Amino acid sequence: MIEATDLQDNGGWWLALAIVTAGLAEFKGRRRLLWFLLGLLLGPIATILVVVWGRPDSPFGK
């Protein structure tokens, strides 16, 4: 059974990952708030997406 303290501990990592995702998105020229929210919802999947996708102005990003 999962205890409340386990969920709270994991929530901190999830929030930190969402912040990192937002920073990576801003570095790649994407909207920081949108990617922060996606990071909260999708966690590591959003981080992988923002790393794999190229910059919007890059010929390889589309």
| Number of domains observed in the structure of the chain | 1
pLDDT tens, residue by residue, 6-26: 556 677 889 999 999 999 999
What is the 3-state secondary structure of 45-62?
Answer: HHHHHHHHCCCCCCCCCC
Domain assignment present for residue 60? The answer is: no
Domain assignment present for residue 37? The answer is: yes
Cβ contact 18:40 at 8 Å: yes
Domain assignment present for residue 2? The answer is: no
Domain assignment present for residue 59? The answer is: no
Q: What pLDDT shows up at residue 58? A: 67
Domain extent, residue 37, equals 17-42
Domain assignment present for residue 29? The answer is: yes
Residue 34 has pLDDT above 80, yes or no: yes
pLDDT tens, residue by residue, 38-61: 999 999 999 999 999 988 776 665
